[in-house]
Amino acid sequence: MTPGASRCAENWCAPSLAVRFVVVENVPSFEILIPRTGITRTIGLRAHARTGAIESTTSPPDTEAPVRLHERKGFPVKRTRSLAATLACAALALTACSSSDDADGSKDSGAESYKIAVTQIVTHDSLDQSIAGFKKALEDEGLDVTYDDENANNDQSVVASISGTLATSDADLVLGVGTPMAQGLAQSISDKPILFTAVTYPVDAGLVGSMEKPGANVTGTTDANPVVEQLDLIKEIDPDVKTVGVLYNSGEANSAVQVQWLKDAAADENIEVKEATVSNTNEVQQAANSLDVDAIYVPTDNTVISALDSVVQVGETKKIPVYPAEGDSVAKGGLATYGLNYFDLGYQTGEMAIKILVDGEDPATMAVETQKEPVIYLNLGAAERMGVELPQDLIDRADEANITK
């Protein structure tokens, strides 16, 4: 057996042919999936009892006589064109499979590999999901990637340290997750492509010149919220809402933008917005307690989301519904939102990375992308704990997978 054939026995080889080597009833065989037909043929190889010639048998059987692959002397004798062609393809498939490996089973040393630095401002479910989606996109593409994962733990001095280190690294691409992290990278690195995700408004954050033409080495995906639709959802659940409180870190540029969007939308509906700002996670619970409102809105603010449990606790105690801006926070105890799926957003960012690394596209000319289809997220348990009755029509419109019970 040629080097690599044992691995071919366990895995499908040659993606265009779907061939593998198997043993059926002690008979060495090729198992072949015929492309675009769904038909599987098993071709067994055995010695003729009288002549010693190697014959093939197919399952399901062909109507024609078996093909003799070779007589005692010479090359195969073709008896049927279709089966002989299939066998030839099988041989090519196994050759391709074995030639892609070295004799010791190692991967072809000529295969392209990449180094990607993945950095995030802080740990919380939404950012973690975006990273998981990013890596899944590259895995699905079959790229050989080594990752350097870094976390700033919401500390600006660590952001600066990570960014400075990566400026002199040999990374092929750098991912910044969260606005402060992306800003630090953009300020320190000019000779490597930088992608960002979970950034609400990259223009105001100084990351790109415009959404359509970023203009430098930085581009990515934005988690800009459909704030108008989110406020409409709050009104659908509570038509009598008069005041909405908003918790955010005033030092996060993306949060300030979202708060302004909320104010603009609320003004059109004669709803008052009351603000409570924090500078770190330790201040979140006190800030939430200070709000005397009909509803609490939590933007995609990394500081507040990192302490979301504190906000949810206040909402349940004071019977104030908590509306996060994204779905992961609803699953963690928020009431409802019309928002983003961060895994999908990260996956979309990974697809942009493939365009840069494999296709050679220039970040300067790659438009910033947004998630295409925000969806409804509901938490029925949170509704009960916060004293809210969700309209049945709203529950019926939500996908079952996005309802937490």
For residues 280 and 303, the answer to whether their CB atoms sit within 8 Å is yes
Q: DSSP label at 326?
A: B
Q: pTM for the whole thing?
A: 0.62
Chain centroid to Cα 7, Å, comes to 30
What are the start-end ranges of the E strands in 152-222? 173-177, 194-199, 218-222
Residue 121's nearest CA partner among 253, 276, 314, 277 is 253
Half-sphere exposure of 38 (CA within 13 A, CB side): 0
From CA 118, how far away is CA 245, in angstroms rounded? 34
Beta-carbon contacts of 360 under 8 Å, excluding residues fewer than 6 positions away, are none
From CA 20, how far away is CA 5, in angstroms rounded? 9
Q: Exposure of 65 by Cβ count < 10 A (0-12 exposed, 13-18 middle, 19+ buried)? A: exposed
State the helix-helix crossing angle for 179-188 and 156-167, rounded to 10 degrees: 40
Query: What fold is seen in the domain 227-338+374-404?
Result: Rossmann fold (3.40.50)
From CA 38, how far away is CA 167, in angstroms rounded? 50
At 256, list the tokens: 């300030």
Where do the structural domains in the chain lie, given as residue ranges?
Answer: 5-99, 113-223+343-370, 227-338+374-404
At 278, list the tokens: 């924090």
What are the start-end ranges of the E strands in 242-326? 243-249, 272-278, 295-298, 322-324
CATH H-level, domain 113-223+343-370: superfamily: Response regulator (3.40.50.2300)
Same fold, 113-223+343-370 and 227-338+374-404: yes
At 218, list the tokens: 């930085």
Residue 54, H or E segment: strand 54-59
Residue pLDDT tens, the chain, 405 long = 433 433 333 344 444 445 666 665 666 666 665 554 455 566 665 554 444 444 455 555 444 444 333 332 333 333 333 444 444 444 444 444 444 444 444 444 346 899 999 999 999 888 999 999 999 999 999 999 999 999 999 899 999 999 999 999 999 999 999 999 999 999 999 999 999 999 988 998 899 999 999 999 999 999 888 999 999 999 999 999 999 999 999 888 778 889 999 999 999 999 999 999 999 999 999 999 999 999 999 998 989 999 999 999 999 999 999 999 988 899 999 999 998 888 999 999 999 999 999 999 999 999 999 987 788 999 999 999 999 999 999 999 999 999 999
